[in-house]
Structure 1
Amino acid sequence: MKKSIINLFFLLPMFILSACGQNNKNQNTTTNTTTMENVISKPENPYYSNTDTKKLNVPNSEWKKILSPDLYAVAREADTERAFTGTMWKSETKGTYYCAACGNKLFKSDQKFVSSCGWPSFFEQENKESITFKPDNSYGMRRTEANCGRCDAHLGHLFDDGPEPTGKRYCMNAISLDFVPEGLTSTGNTGNLETIVLGGGCFWCVEAVYENLDGVVSAVSGYAGGTVENPSYEAVCTGRTGAAEVIEITYDKTKTNLDEIFQVFFTVHDPTTLNRQGADVGTQYRSAIFYKNENEKKAAESLIKELNEKVFSGKIVTTIEPLEKFYKAESYHQGYYQNNKNQPYCQMVIQPKLEKFEKVFKERLKKKQ
């Protein structure tokens, strides 16, 4: 595979990504990383389990240290995300939905329906203990609040306007849910998933590219490499946190591999511009590979050495950094291209990059459903 990577750079021009122009601050929703049944990796959360159903009694002070700010606001403070944001509300992909705070199994996809309300909606819960209810009379309304049966996290509300056979509508915040596609749990191939965290400038563009590569299960925008815990987008933009805009890529190694992930990476951004991609300038836009083990580190070092010798004449400035922690970015950054295709930036910047990517990797694109 490595030879094909080198050949690619001799035959094709690089794709240089332009500036993000990221100034959306006011949205408040999220989509979730795709995870695996019984082996969801959330090392920062010692209470997370897909199999343990024992009731948790954890104080909010502890949850605040563990959960991301936007998840904490919904799960522990009963905040609500904006409707029609993210893709989960209209997704019909088969799989399982879990509590994003504690990992408790909540719904199966065959209990879901696409509702006009703009939030993920279900007509039935996984079992009678998975979700609990209590009256909610806030904001001058009479509603029924739905909470996780294991950790009491706020999930959303229950209404009586759903479809048959129950007539119920479980109206859920997407940020409260983790989703696992059906094939990952039913075929027993969860051990085939790997993750890698890459920084290539604007995470909107890089995420949009990897979402289309066959074998990539999820591409999540976030931050890594900094000194501030759970940094906000505004803080990262100052360049003072040390964090970079990154993508956490989860891929099925039976369908793709690290070599191909790197091949796409060095094709869709410029690894020779220090702390800059297009008009985006600052350490937060640096070209970086964040490794979690020696295999990833050695693979990155070997490829960069060969590219410097044969393609870039020693000009690659991509850093190779240990992954201390990945922080998921604010919800409005997730799936940005998919949710904003008509925006000028998406049409003028991201769409041309995608078209070039699709031309080069046309045999490796996900099949349209």
Structure 2
Amino acid sequence: MRKIITFLFLIPLLTLTACGQSNKKISKKDTSAMENVISKPENPYYSNTDTKKLNVSNAEWKKVLSPDLYAVAREADTERAFTGTMWKDETKGTYYCAACGYKLFKSNQKFTSSCGWPSFFEQENKESITFKDDNSYGMRRIEANCGRCDSHLGHLFDDGPEPTGKRYCMNAISLDFVPDGVAINSANLETIVLGGGCFWCVEAVYQNLEGVKSVYSGYAGGMVEDPSYEQVCTGRTGAAEVVEITYDKTKTNLDEIFQVFFTVHDPTTLNRQGADSGTQYRSVIFYKNENEKKAAQNLIAELNEKVFANKIVTTLEPLKKFYKAEEYHQGYYENNKNKPYCQMVIQPKIEKFEKVFKDRLKKN
């Protein structure tokens, strides 16, 4: 340990009402687990798991993309029809944006079109692709762009098959394809699911820890399968607001993950963090195996003896399934820094984390 024993201190818990007060209606989220990881070390913006929108200049993209991909993705060029075999390939798998790694299509949304470009009748989710009018070359078309990095993918037409009648006509060079069952460079990745009150707060902290690859807000525990945010907010589902942390075990470890957890929230208040109260805000570690459970038990015993005057009430519960929360919860702090809750509740937690773990912050 053992900077947590030396430096751990509690800040007064703030009294704002937290994320539990929104009544925004959002469609159900994608609950599929991370399926594949593609390694592109030359491209720091590439991720198959990060859904946060990118704002990268074309000058920067030109440094990390191949000339052919840059011409299509950033200058809206079009590759020749019938290039390669992707347009007629029927292999089962997943298609990603070749520029940023964002998931775009599954193979069951694809069909073989006579146009000679990879064609799909439906996108993976409503955020995966965005559209704008394209009046270039004297034509009226709808341009299709990646929902994460805004790179050009192709065009959308109304001559596709049922059930949508749409044809997403894509440039093959704009797509990365990974067959089902293939996982690349994932041997060093581990996941852990933790709940420490409002998931916006916990997510924002772990996104800054060196070695953490991705953090998703979601729900775990309880009796309801794939609950919505509104259901969890009632406190009657038994589910807790949690984050799923994927980390590189060669760069951080479970002990450090737990140290951060017990530093940035109060594990001694039962079913409460600040103004947020209810079992959905409980302090909880969802363990997948006995190693995770034992590590948590050992740290809790040490903290009870050396740090906390009040007994830790963090529960240890076996993980049955993690359900990813609705998209507007993901990266909430990054997307809403100027809102009062972010400034008055989340920001102090981040500052505390940065003070205690100043040598373990991600390098920008």
TM-score grouping bracket, smaller chain normalisation: 0.5 to 0.7
Does the Cα contact within 8 Å between 1:196 and 1:249 map onto a contact in 2?
A: yes
Residue matched to 1:104: 94
Give the conservation status (yes or no) of the 8 Å contact 1:198–1:247.
Answer: yes
Find the structure with the greater CA-based Rg. 2
Instruction: Give deviations 1:204-258, integer Å, cap 9, x for gaps.
Output: 1111001111111111111111100111111111111000000101111111111
Conserved 8 A contact 2:221-2:320: yes
1:147 aligns with 2:126: no
Does 1:161 pair with 2:134? yes
Alignment match, 2:352: 356
Aligned residue for 1:308? 304
- The C-alpha deviation readout for 1:1-50, integer Å capped at 9, x for no partner, is x33333333xx3457465414333336477999936379xxxxxxxxxx9
Q: Partners of 1:236 and 1:107 in 2: how far apart?
A: 33
Q: 2:313 corresponds to which residue?
A: 317
Partner Cα separation in structure 1 for residue 281 and residue 304 of structure 2:
21
Conserved in 1, the CA contact under 8 Å of 2:218 and 2:241? Answer: yes
Cα gap change, 1:314 to 1:343, in 2 (>3 Å): closer
Aligned counterparts, 1:1-369, within 5 A: 2-9=1-8, 12-13=9-10, 16=13, 19-26=17-24, 28=26, 35=34, 37=36, 87-88=52-53, 90=55, 103-109=93-99, 131-132=110-111, 146-147=121-122, 156=129, 161=134, 169-171=143-145, 189-313=185-309, 315-368=311-364
For normalisation by structure 2, the TM-score amounts to: 0.65
Distance 1:171 1:4, change over 3 A: same
CA 1:27–1:211 in structure 2 vs 1: closer, same or farther (change >3 Å)? farther
**C-alpha offsets along residues 48-76 of structure 1, whole Å, 9 cap, x if unaligned?**
xx9xxxxxxxxxxxxxxxxxxxxxxxxxx
> Which segment is superposed worse, 24-33 or 350-359?
24-33
- Whole-angstrom distance in 1 between the partners of 2:191 and 2:273: 24
Q: Identity over the aligned pairs, expressed in percent?
A: 58
Change (3 A) 1:171 1:361: same
* Secondary structure of residue in 2 paired with 1:296: helix
Contact in 2 for aligned 1:104/1:130 (Cα 8 Å): no
| Deviation, structure 1 residue 169 | 3.6
Determine if contact 1:222/1:246 at 8 Å carries over to the other structure: yes
Residue 342 of structure 1 and its aligned partner are, at CA, apart by 1.4
Equivalents in 2 of 1:215, 1:337: separation in Å?
Answer: 20
Once the two structures are superposed, residues 252-305 of structure 1 have per-residue CA deviations (whole angstroms, 9 ceiling, x without a partner) of 111111111001000000000001000111111000000001110110111111
The normalised TM-score by structure 1 is 0.64
- The letter for the 2-side match of 1:88 is K
Residue in 2 aligned with 1:141?
Answer: none
* Distance 1:21-1:327 versus aligned 2 partners, 3 A rule: closer
**Amino acid across the alignment from 1:147:** E
Q: Where does structure 1 differ by over 2 angstroms across 4 or more consecutive aligned residues?
A: 2-9, 12-19, 21-39, 86-95, 129-134, 144-148, 152-164, 167-174
Please give the alpha-carbon distance, in whole angstroms, between the structure 2 residues aligned to 1:104 and 1:327: 20
Q: Give structure 2 stretches of 5+ with no counterpart.
A: 39-47, 66-91, 114-118, 149-174, 177-182
Partner Cα separation in structure 1 for residue 336 and residue 130 of structure 2: 27
Please give the root-mean-square deviation of Cα atoms over the aligned residues, in Å. 4.1
Cα deviation, 1:131-189, whole Å, max 9, x if unaligned, reads 5599xxxxxxxxx97436xxx8886577773999xx98433566xxxx99xxxxxx964
